[in-house]
Each structure stands twice: as structure tokens, then as C-alpha cells.
Chain A
């Protein structure tokens, strides 16, 4: 059933595959996004995803440094959890826009 939620016709993605409306996010959707990136989500992943979503909802611009100071993961662990560009990969899975940060 993987990818099923990604095929939902009402789901709007931008041209890079980020969810346009964060309110449409569900944990199942996160698992499908993760599967596309060859990741299996653990509780720790979800802790990070929920933190990212909360900060995004508050309007805080996200950086790797801020994630490192979140108290949930340090930067090294963040890279381990979401390999290949952690902030971009995690933002996509968290259903929030592509981060516009340079740091």
C-alpha cells in the first residue's frame, strides 16, 4: 500500500515534490515520502518531523543549526536520520516547503 497516499488526487505537490499545503500532512503520508527516499521512519524521525512542523507553523525560518539546538537531535544525528541533505529531505517528509536557508 506504499505510495497510496501520494497518489491521492487532492494532494498538491510543487514541481520539486514538496507538499503545498502542510495541513494535508498525515503520518502515513510521511511514511510514503520517506519510502520514496528509501527511509523507514522511527519514533525519533517523527519527533524531528513534528518539531519541524511546529516551528514552520510558528513561522520560524528553519536551519540545520536550529535543528541542532532543538534538544531533539544534534546535528550529527540529524545527518544520520535524514541522509543526503537532511534539512531538505526532512522538510519534504514533514510536508513543509523547501527550506530557503543557506546555513
Chain B
């Protein structure tokens, strides 16, 4: 997070992580497509080879809160392929929240696990733990055959801590819901740490509502958050001291 007191501007970094070809870039493309003009800048895709991300994608989104605080969301993807480990480490540095995009297909389960371990390792290198990081998990590609069943995911999700979402990013389904979940979680964590709501007279719920609306989802926020199939959307308050 970067805070510019003079211009009353807050920049939040969100990172879409996950195994190769799980749909991270597709998520960003769907968000870009859903966003009202004016809210979203150009989607920047850095160095691709055969449609595979080599460095990262970057989608800038800007919203202005009622408290006249400008909130700039920088949404990144990491390259999923195993060989780009050092790039992933660079991109994930300084992330305020992470969306882990998993491939729902049964035979991709191992890749999901490997990538998640990789995420944990990279956070560790930056002195962070998964527990400290606002994190949502999205099971993408729900429309493909041979995916892990809804029941299986729901059962696992109910036991886990991270909010879990189902999505078909190619059709935009579940993409905004996942993003709102991530933003909600990230904002709550940042507010818990920096007391932003109070300092800037910021109305977090109104802000989320505005974001959702500008991303083409006019439903009330509690309804959007309910799309989550498991896990907890409450934020762990930092321990006293």
C-alpha cells in the first residue's frame, strides 16, 4: 500500500497468483471488460510468448470515495510457469492482497498445490506468512468436464480459512465476485492495521458498492460476498503489540 497524503491518494496492490494456464490473465481481461470506462486504465500485458505471460499483466483501476480519497487499485498477475520463479517473487513483493486462481480440473490438483507452496515460499522470502496475507481462492474453469465437484470444493472450503469462489473467467462468471471478496478482505486488513476508515472518513461499504457497480454488478454487497462457497470473510485483527 502506498499513501499519498498530499494528494489524498491510496494505492493498493492486488496480485493474481496461481499455476500456469489457470486463468489469471483471463480474470484481469474479464475485469477490464466489465469495468466502466474511466474506472479502468489500459490493461498492460508485458512480454507474452504464445499467449503465455512472461512477466506480468497490470490492470489499473481508480475509484474516488465519498471522503474524496482516491483509491487506485493496481491488479497484477504473475507468470504461472515454474521457470519464472524469480519474476513471481518480484511481482508478489509488497502485495496487499492475493487472489489464488486454481484450475478446477481434477488432473490439475497437483499443479495447484505446487503453485500454492511456491506462493508460501515466496511470501516467506519477503518475511511474510500466508496467515498475514489477505487471500481468496478461486476455482476457475467450472465449465470444463472432469472438474472437481461443487460438493467436494464446498466441503473443503468450509474447513478452510480463505474465502473460496467458483468462476468461469472466460465468460466473466464469478470474476467480479472474487474481486470484491478480495478487495473487501484486503481493505479490512489495511484498515485494521492503519485505521484508514477513521483517518480519511472513509466509508468502506459505500466504496465497495461503488466498485461493484462500476464493475457492472449492481447487487448489494452482502449478496455479492455470499457468492463465496466457504472460508471466512472476516479479517484477523493484528495481535495486540
Question: Do the two chains belong together in a single complex?
Answer: no
Question: Which A residues are within 8 Å of any B CB, using their own CB?
Answer: none
